[in-house]
Amino acid sequence: MIAVQGFKDQKVAVLGLGRSGLSAARALKAGGATPICWDDNPGAREAAHEEGFDVAPLGRASDYEGIAALIVSPGIPHLYPAPNKAVVAAQAAGVPVDNDIGLFFRSLATRDWDGFDTAPRVIAVTGSNGKSTTSALIHHVLTEAGRTAQLAGNIGRGVLDIDPPEDGGVVVLELSSYQTELARALTPDVAVFTNLSPDHLDRHGGFGGYFAAKRRLFAEGGPDRAIIGVDESEGRFLAGQLSEGPGDDRVIRVSVDGKLEGPGWSVFARKGFLSEYRKGRQAASVDLRPIKGLPGVHNHQNACAAFAACRALGLAPRVIEGAFHSFAGLPHRSQIVAEKDGVTFVNDSKATNVDAALMALLAFKNIRWICGGLAKEGGIAGLKPGLPNVTKAYVIGREADAFALQLGDTEAETCTTMARAVARAIEEAQPGDTVLLAPAAASFDQYDSFEKRGEDFIAELRARL
């Protein structure tokens, strides 16, 4: 556990008692603070009380008398679409609002570090798509290289639940926009921006607010090295803002759209080959095509970002390449779950938006595509470039008919349930086909999470193969 510093003998309010909220309360207590906890869910309040925490309402300004700070869980809005009443009350009382990410960065370094030969490092990864795979891949490479590394944040353990890093240790964090937008301290050593596409727009007051939340990791964090995906205009803008000139190698540009020119530091992938360039010369090359855990252009982008992050820590290209080959991928993200009779079955349930689903459609050929769910804003027109790879779509979800109508000339069958979609796809699949779950929609019309949806897909396959 990372004991929170700076609040000894003070009361700190904690709003939201899920994983991050309870973790923050425990870490505050370990640092000598007295957490005052609240959650609208009576069961969560009872669990906190049984754990020994003080539980009290936080909805009025008078509730904040003697309170040093309010710590808010990521899912609780503090500005858009409307701030939670407890946040409004804290602000009215002049109480600072923070989250567990802010607590982590203000508390990580301790006096023990004075005796270390090598200070621990933090790599923080954000972006719309690919940040989980990129984070896990960085962690995997570091571990394979013999470095002590921990994976936390939006993946793995809560940031305050990790062990205090050892001499030379590395902490790899996946950070969502919900986490970066509010944290009062953001000081990674290496920060990674994978890409940007519309998501969570209601929470951030539009696309500009969404980008601003991601940008805080770089603009306020001041990382020693910034690794920026520059295939969107926002990434190019961010790289330009952070760089002092064309040769500034504190910014490493990443692309899968084409070769990156110039005297700076860049990592890009073309036709399955990753290339690293420094000062206008090629420094390394990796053939990504045979790496089964990283299929498709979207995973090649993840590989480029992870390669750049590991190179920023001084790892040799061949060490990184070797570790890439042993990376199995993450569940629900272009995960090959079965192969039978020449048919490959892929679980990409995490493809909850159009951009992520498009990357999956472009990664495979002869696709029998299981798609649909709770549609997001903007429709599915952005999937058009990937539809030529689809042999047939099997549409699930409560809005299956409406989703199927948007597919135009692509053959589609309304299945509604996962069981029927899997059964029909298996029945019609031919050798060389890929049965792909890449919904391009949220899961909440039928499942509690994209993980549950992916698990159901796998269970239905196992029952039939």
User: d(Cα 236, Cα 246) in Å, to the nearest integer?
Assistant: 13
Which tokens in the block code for residue 76?
A: 């609780």
**CB 239, CB 192: distance < 8 Å:** no
Q: Using alpha carbons, select from 301, 375, 387 the residue that is nearest to residue 128.
A: 301
Q: Which of 240, 234, 231, 286 is closest to 259 using CA atoms?
A: 231
The answer to whether 96 touches 70, Cβ cutoff 8 Å, is yes
CB 189 within 8 A of CB 120: no
Binding residues: 127-133
* 2 contacts 159 by C-beta, under 8 angstroms: yes
* Binding-site positions for ATP: 127-133
Tell me whether strands 149-153 and 67-72 are parallel, antiparallel or unpaired: unpaired
Per-residue b/e over 59-83, b at no fewer than 16 CB within 10 Å? beeebbeebbbbbbbbebbbeeeeb
**Distance (Å, whole) CA 119 – CA 117:** 7
Crossing angle, helix 19-30 and helix 100-107, to 10 degrees? 30
Distance CA 151, CA 131 (A): 12
Helix/strand/coil for 273: strand
DSSP annotation string for 59-76: -SGGGGTTEEEEEE-TTS
| The pair of three-digit structure tokens given for residue 237, joined into one six-digit string | 């803008």
Are the beta carbons of 326 and 209 closer than 8 angstroms? no
* φ/ψ (deg, to 5) at 122: -120, 125
The residues pairing with 132 across neighbouring beta strands, listed in sequence order, are: none
- The amino acid sitting at 30 is A
